[in-house]
Amino acid sequence: MTSKSNLKKSVQGWLTGILQDPITKILMKNSHLTRAQIETLLIDILSENIAERKLVYEEKAKLRLLKEGVSRGAFNRTLKQARGNVIKSIYTVILLGYLG
């Protein structure tokens, strides 16, 4: 089991590495997701793998790259916006495929 400070360092180091990747930067620039939304989605989806345990949203909110993290409410709002944008993008691709 990882301590909270080690978990935060591990997740933030991992996030920083991903977000600094040149291909990630190009894809983010041309995406409909904001940096905060991408960061939040990644934390939500993958942080439990690093922690090797279930994390509550309050813990996930503290893993953001901001010094103090964000509130649970702000994390959840950003996550909802990110999920909505991803779903809309998927529907757009399906619509374009359907229309030919």
**pLDDT by residue (tens digit) across 13-69?**
999 999 999 999 999 999 999 999 999 999 999 888 888 899 999 999 999 999 888
Determine the Cα–Cα distance for residues 55 and 11; give it in Å rounded to an integer. 13
> For the chain, how many structural domains are there in total?
1
Global pTM value: 0.86
- Quick count: other Cβ atoms within 10 Å of Cβ 95? 9
Residues in the chain: 100
What angle is formed at CA 41 by the lines to CA 52 and CA 12, rounded to 5 degrees?
Answer: 60
The whole domain housing 38 covers 4-99
